[in-house]
Structures are given as C-alpha cells and as structure tokens.
Structure 1
Amino acid sequence: MVFSKEFKSNMGKMIAWILVLTILIGLLFALYPMMLDINMKSMFDTFVESLTPNLKLVLGLDESVDYTNLGQYIAFIFQYIAVLVAMFSMQLGGNSLSKEQEYGTIQYLYSNPISRNEIISQKILANILTYILFLFIIIIITFGLSYAIPIDSTMNVDSAISTKDFIIDLVKIFVALLGSGLVYMSIGFFLSSISKSASISDGVSVIFVLITVVLIMAGKVFGSLFFNIIDMLPLEVFKPFRFVVSNFSLMGIGVNIIVIVVFMLLTYLIYNSKDLYY
C-alpha cells in the first residue's frame, strides 16, 4: 500500500526531470560532431591548453578524455549531468517522509495496520525503484540520441556507436550514477526524518548538492589534504568517466557504502522516536 502510493507519487517529478535532462543531453550531444572535425578539435585543444591548471580542474577538464571516442565523450558530459541527477535523487529521499506530515496524509497511513519501520522500508524501496527506472530511461534516451548525431561520413570516427563496447560504457555510466544517487538519497531520507516540510527538503537538497560541488572545486584548487577529503565525495568517487576508463577507487566506494548504511540507520532511529502530529 505505502510502496505503490509512494511510487505513483514520484512519477510526475520523474517525468519532469527526464524532460529537462533529455533537452540538456541533446544539446551537449550536438557538440560531439565538432570533436570529430580536425579544425574544431584543434581550436578546443588550444582553448583547454590556455587555461590555468586550477581552472581546468574546476571546470572538470582535468581528465585525459579522448573526446573523439563517443563512450568517453558521453562519460565526460555526464559528470555535469550527475549534479542534476544527484539533486533529483536527494529530493526523492528528502520529501519521502516529511510530505506525509505536510500534506496531512500521515493520518491515513496510521489508520492502517502498519509500523513505522514498514513505512520507511516501503518508501525506501519505492524510491530506489523510481531512481533505477529514471536512470534506465535516461540511458535509453542517451543511446537513442547517439543515432541522431549528424556525423559527416568523411570524419574519422568509430562507426560502431551501437556496439558491445559502447553499451558497456553506458552500463558503467548507469552504475556510477546509481552509486552517487544512492548516497544522496540516503542523506535525503535522513533529512526527511527530521523535517516536517517536503518543500523545505526540496530546497535543502538542491543547496546541499551545490555545496558539495563548491567543496569539490575548492578542494581541487587548494589541493593537499583537502583534495584527499573531497576525493571521497560521491560526485568524485562515482564520476562517470572514472568508471568508463576503470579508474575508480575501491576505498572511495567502500566509504560511500558506509555513508549510505549510516544515514539509513539514522533515518530508522530518528523517525521511530519522532513525535508525529496529525
């Protein structure tokens, strides 16, 4: 009952986010043919080389990306898409529990024979399923857009954009986004367990993700110990390009799994001890 209700309530927001991301991915995809043109690629390389090392790091141009490789190019643009995906994921968790009090539906839930633990568990499962479905649709759309790229036959490009290797790259990107999203979702659930307003949770989710982005930028500029700390943040650990080139950190993944478990446990503990007014 709670599972289906939660899953259905997320459909509107999920569709809206998919539409926005589809437009954004399409616009970034439109730049790919430029990378295959020798003159345009040379201009781009010159521009990147003219940037200071710190600015390259801040803009996410620090990775040695082969922009003519479609799989790597997609992974590169998805490091920016991942920020928006993280916002969506955290919003899913952030308003999951708090919206019941804000909208007054908590009374309906408790009119049924169901415990708080069951409510939390079913909401977690519903939101994870929503997020997986969301990512699956985004990846399918990305795959479809790859066929819409206007590539000149004279350009030197791997013709097999739908081959096994390309599909594997998309699967790796899916896994990377799933990992970072689950971390932010767990933090969102924790926020939702202590909040009474879903609208506030939505705003806080956006701000929280933006703060982590700023911290990552600052860490790359200042380096040293700070860099080692921000390198453990989910947007860095689960950066799509790192997964595509198999350069991910197992320790970083382990740390983030611990973060997920800790925040989920805190969600259960806090929500079970919380006074619910309805």
Structure 2
Amino acid sequence: MTIFKMEWQTSRKGLILWSCIIVLVLVLFMSVFPTMQTSAMKDMLDTKLGGLPENMLKIFHLNDGPSLLEPVGYFGYVFQYIFIAASIYAAMLGSKALVKEESNGTIEFLYAQPVSRVRIVLEKFLAGTSMIIVFWLITFSASFSTIAFFNNTDTTVKSILNDLAKIAIPEFFVLLFFLAVGFFISSILRSVNQSTSVSLGLVFGFYLLGILGDLQEKLSFFKDISPMSQGGPANLLAKGLDVTLIVWLVVISILSLVGTLFVYKRKDLQI
C-alpha cells in the first residue's frame, strides 16, 4: 500500500484545509438561524418569498422542501452552496490524482517501484475514496453539531439525524461520482494545471443543467442527468432517499474507473 500512503501524505493538507473551511462556513451560517425565529423575520419571509417570481424560487430551491424557519430546512438551503464546494473538492481530488505524477516528475519514482499501472490507479482511487469518507464524516459531524447547538425550536435530535441521513447518504455517492469522473479526466490530461478549470467546469456544468431543467419545462430532463440537482439538499428533503439515484451514481462511478484503467494502461506517460 505504498502508493496509498504516498497519496495521503501529499493530499492530507488539502483535506484539512477544505474541512476547516467547510466547518467554519457551517458555523457562520448556522449561527444566523436563531434570528430567523423572530416575528419580524417570519413576517418578512411570508411576504417577501410569496412575492418572488416562481422561477427565482426554483433557482434558489425555495419552492420545495422544509421551511427556512425549521432548523433542517434552513440548513438545507445553506448546504446547497456548501455542497457545490464539496463537489469541486472531490472533482479536483480525482482530476489531479494521476496527472500530477507526470507534472511533478514523480512518475519515475513510481515506476521504480514493483507496481503496475492498474495498481497505481486502484491504490490512488482507494486513497481518494477514503479521503472523501473522512471529509464527509467531518462535514456531517459539524453539520449535526451546529444544527443541534443553534436549534431553538421543538425539533428533536432524532428528527435532525433522520433528515441529515437523507442528505448525507446520497450526496456521498455524488461526491464519489465526481471523484471517479475526475480520475477518468486525470488519465487524459497532460498537465496538472488543467485540472482546476476542468473540475470547476464539470461541477458548474452539471449545476447549470439542473437550473435549466427547473426553469424550462421542455428541458426538465436535464434535472434527471444532473447529480447536483438530484442530490441537492432541498430535493432530497422533499422526496426522501432515492435508491435509484444511488445505483446510477455507483454504476457511472464504476464505469469511469474502468475507463480510467483502460486509458491509463495505454497512455504514453511523460517520463
């Protein structure tokens, strides 16, 4: 497991940094929730949201899911933006995994080890998956803690945990999807400098597809192919756990990994 350990050593700083940023943003946003319980804020939400155009409500996912006056409803609204950042992290982790060895000149060291290209890909993917698991555990431990701490309503801890599970489980597989697709992209790229822009384009591309599907009825099928839309907190809280979504995400992730192995085994590496 030499490559697995190397991957952790080179990527752990990024994991710590992203985790700290996510936790900090969660604390900052959730600390605002108690102010939502004032009568003035309740009146404003009732009057202002009711006066907004339907399309604008759809863009910001305010037309479905629990109320912003409920702790998990408010969290779901906030977390949709944090989830975009988490998806970018997963895509970047995958898209840099293979190509960075060529860009940094460390591919020669790997080739000096008794390992095959298949083993390089599998150990790196295992390391990336384990980092996503740790990242997601930290994120949702912080999510539960902040919701419970700032909750000034009658919502029970059990109810909060159940609602968080509806979000956490499917969204983990969305992150796994972006990690796997990122790996496939990494097997094609020639420079690590391209990975950031490609990762941003991948995540925001799917995000925009979901928005287009919400705004245009004739383009509603875009929502079905957008993991950002299907795995959004508001959608998950409104519809519950979607097993079909998870199955499709796993299937596509496996196909992406198989495609990565196929391309990387035949790639002319820059040594």
> Identity of counterpart residues, as a percentage?
26
Q: How many residue pairs were aligned?
A: 270
- 1:209 correspondence with 2:203: yes
Aligned counterpart for 1:158 among listed residues 154, 159, 172 = 154
Partner of 1:136: 137
Deviation at 1:31, TM superposition (A): 2.6
Partner of 2:224: 231
Partner of 1:62: 63
Bigger mean CA offset, 165-174 vs 187-196: 165-174
Bigger mean CA offset, 195-204 vs 142-151: 142-151
1: CA distance, partners of 2:84 / 2:162:
22
Partner of 1:184: 178
Partner of 2:163: 169
Deviation at 1:81, TM superposition (A): 1.2
Deviation at 1:28, TM superposition (A): 1.8
Aligned counterparts, 1:1-278, within 5 A:
1-149=2-150, 151=152, 157-158=153-154, 160=156, 163-224=157-218, 226-278=219-271
1:136/1:174 contact within 8 Å kept: no
2: CA distance, partners of 1:45 / 1:211:
33
Deviation at 1:148, TM superposition (A): 4.2
Deviation at 1:5, TM superposition (A): 0.7
Give 5+ residue unaligned stretches, structure 1: 152-156
1: CA distance, partners of 2:244 / 2:81:
23
Deviation at 1:150, TM superposition (A): 7.8
Find the residue that maps to 1:63 and give its secondary structure: coil
Deviation at 1:97, TM superposition (A): 0.3
TM-score normalized by the length of structure 2: 0.92
Deviation at 1:240, TM superposition (A): 2.5
RMSD: 1.9
Partner of 1:154: none
Q: In structure 1, what residue type is equivalent to 2:265?
A: N
**CA spacing shift, 1:147–1:248, aligned 2, 3 Å:** closer
**CA spacing shift, 1:150–1:180, aligned 2, 3 Å:** closer
Q: In structure 2, what residue type is equivalent to 1:11?
A: R
Q: In structure 2, what residue type is equivalent to 1:166?
A: I
2:230/2:236 contact within 8 Å kept: no
TM-score normalized by the length of structure 1: 0.90
1:89/1:181 contact within 8 Å kept: yes
1:237/1:253 contact within 8 Å kept: no
